[in-house]
């Protein structure tokens, strides 16, 4: 197993360039807009456009579609530096889910219409997969599509749709062959969210972010907005999952909060002693540091396999380990902080600006989005350990 991710001097120079840019351009208000609303806000939008002007949203994509070419390692470096600086990669649905599928399966007209604008940071996509009755089982979705002349008519409801409250387009999965084989029953569409018949209802989440319910009432979608072949949508989605999980669940995002927690224990006294000198506190911190380093090794192994084109279930392991570690870190940090950890941002007594309370609430969804922990464990057992399905 390869737990190292070696880089060349040119690639490290790119890392320095990204780091210097973030130090100069990133501020607390942009970070807040990234953390709470996935990049919604005037300052964050301006920041996103600067990234697009740098060409960083097209790393690894062909130049004819606005990309910068080059190897996947540059994309990895970009993700790592953004994670270290606690910055949000803009257009994450467009860049890491919709874009790669359009690039590999979309028509030439669709590529020309969307890929250049994704790379420039000009458009955002909302994610339309989950439905109320289906939960994490995408195959159980019920949104119906009827084919007419030169368009499709779509009816139904989606829920927990990321970014739909401000996105330009809906990256939509819906049933086009409900009576057919399960793996050949779903198609993907790019839907203009301003189309008549679409009703978007934002919902506040436990972690303070916004998600959405999206209702379709006889929405007409041109046939040109069908992505790839009809009824092949589920296969496209599965093939893109590895990239999505490694891009959106970066282990590096664990370390800034962990480092601030360690610094807090080194400066704070309780009952006359420094918290970091308490053996119980030290053990909790040591466990978190060790687990975070293990997570980095798992991530590097998966990234190496992805770059070599040999990845299978390993990206799911990284997502599983990282999402559950983020929850464990919140719980252990809350034990260290005691009752003050329950206070929220704005309180005069709140430690770490309420970061730990927010982490405990926001991390709940981590083990659900991108594949639930239960589903990923099943996949790992079947494809990794070769255990029987029954």
| Whether residue 359 sits in one domain with residue 279 | yes
**CATH code (residue 273):** 1.20.140.10
- Asked whether residue 106 is assigned to any structural domain, the reply reads no
- Asked whether residue 64 is assigned to any structural domain, the reply reads yes
User: How far apart are the C-alpha atoms of 257 and 329, rounded to whole Å?
Assistant: 9
**CATH code (residue 43):** 1.10.540.10
Which residues does 23 contact at the CB level (< 8 Å), separation at least 6? 85
User: How far apart are the C-alpha atoms of 172 and 126, rounded to whole Å?
Assistant: 8
| Whether residue 373 sits in one domain with residue 255 | yes
Give the residue from 202, 231, 260 where a domain finishes: 231
| Whether residue 69 sits in one domain with residue 37 | yes
| Whether residue 307 sits in one domain with residue 224 | no
Q: How many C-beta neighbours within 10 Å does residue 363 have?
A: 20
- Asked whether residue 119 is assigned to any structural domain, the reply reads no
| Whether residue 132 sits in one domain with residue 86 | no
pLDDT at 2: 55
User: How far apart are the C-alpha atoms of 178 and 189, rounded to whole Å?
Assistant: 16
Q: Which of 124, 244, 291, 355 is catalytic?
A: 244
User: How far apart are the C-alpha atoms of 215 and 128, rounded to whole Å?
Assistant: 10
- Asked whether residue 160 is assigned to any structural domain, the reply reads yes
pLDDT at 98: 94
| Whether residue 270 sits in one domain with residue 190 | no
pLDDT at 4: 62
| Domain count across the chain | 3
User: Per-block average pLDDT, block size 10, for the chain (390 residues)?
Assistant: 72 95 92 70 84 88 87 87 86 88 95 93 90 82 93 96 90 94 93 97 87 96 97 89 78 93 96 94 97 93 84 90 96 94 86 92 88 90 88
| Whether residue 261 sits in one domain with residue 379 | yes
In three-state secondary structure terms, 221 is strand
- Asked whether residue 183 is assigned to any structural domain, the reply reads yes
- Asked whether residue 100 is assigned to any structural domain, the reply reads no
Q: Which domain holds residue 217?
A: 127-231
| Whether residue 53 sits in one domain with residue 180 | no
pLDDT at 267: 96
| Whether residue 287 sits in one domain with residue 226 | no
**CATH code (residue 175):** 2.40.110.10
Decide if 29 is catalytic: no
Assign 3-state DSSP to the chain and report helix, strand, coil percentages, each to 5.
55, 15, 30
pLDDT at 73: 87
pLDDT at 37: 61
pTM, full prediction: 0.88
Is residue 49 left, alpha or beta, with left meaning phi > 0 and alpha meaning psi from -120 to 50?
alpha
User: How far apart are the C-alpha atoms of 246 and 242, rounded to whole Å?
Assistant: 6
Give the residue from 199, 231, 263 where a domain finishes: 231
- Asked whether residue 243 is assigned to any structural domain, the reply reads no
| Whether residue 264 sits in one domain with residue 218 | no
Give the residue from 231, 263, 285 where a domain finishes: 231
- Asked whether residue 65 is assigned to any structural domain, the reply reads yes
| Whether residue 154 sits in one domain with residue 81 | no
Which residues does 43 contact at the CB level (< 8 Å), separation at least 6? 27, 29, 30, 33
| Whether residue 254 sits in one domain with residue 208 | no
């Amino acid at each position: 197993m390869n737990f190292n991710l070696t880089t060349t001097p040119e690639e490290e120079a790119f890392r320095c360039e990204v780091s210097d840019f973030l130090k100069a351009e990133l501020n607390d208000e942009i970070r807040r807009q990234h953390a709470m609303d996935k990049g919604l806000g005037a300052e964050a939008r301006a920041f996103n456009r600067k990234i697009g002007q740098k060409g960083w949203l097209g790393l690894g994509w062909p130049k004819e579609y606005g990309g910068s070419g080059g190897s996947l390692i540059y994309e990895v470096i970009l993700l790592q530096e953004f994670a270290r600086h606690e910055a949000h990669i803009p257009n994450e649905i467009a860049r890491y889910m919709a874009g790669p599928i359009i690039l590999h399966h979309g028509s030439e007209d669709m590529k020309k219409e969307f890929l250049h604008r994704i790379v420039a940071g000009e458009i955002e996509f909302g994610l339309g997969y989950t439905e109320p009755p289906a939960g994490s089982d995408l195959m159980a979705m019920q949104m119906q599509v009827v084919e007419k002349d030169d368009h499709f008519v779509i009816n139904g409801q989606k829920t927990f749709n990321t970014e739909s409250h401000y996105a330009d387009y809906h990256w939509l999965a819906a049933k086009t062959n409900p009576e057919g084989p399960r793996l050949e029953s779903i198609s993907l569409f790019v839907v203009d969210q301003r189309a008549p018949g679409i009703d978007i209802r934002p919902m506040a989440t436990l972690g303070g972010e916004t998600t959405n319910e999206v209702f379709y009432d006889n929405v007409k979608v041109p046939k040109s907005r069908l992505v790839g072949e009809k009824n092949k949508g589920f296969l496209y989605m599965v093939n893109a999952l590895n990239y999505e999980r490694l891009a959106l669940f970066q282990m590096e995002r664990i370390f800034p909060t962990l480092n601030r927690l360690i610094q807090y224990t080194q400066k704070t006294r309780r009952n006359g002693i420094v918290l970091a000198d308490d053996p119980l506190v030290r053990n909790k911190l040591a466990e978190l540091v060790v687990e975070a380093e293990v997570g980095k090794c798992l991530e590097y192994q998966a990234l190496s396999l992805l770059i070599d084109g040999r990845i299978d279930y390993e990206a799911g392991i990284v997502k599983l380990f990282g999402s559950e570690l983020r929850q464990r870190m919140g719980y252990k940090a809350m034990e260290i902080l005691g009752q003050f950890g329950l206070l929220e941002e704005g309180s005069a007594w709140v430690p770490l600006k309420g970061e730990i309370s927010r982490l405990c609430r926001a991390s709940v969804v981590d083990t659900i989005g991108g594949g639930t922990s239960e589903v990923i464990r099943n996949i790992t057992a079947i494809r990794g350990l070769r255990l029987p399905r029954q």
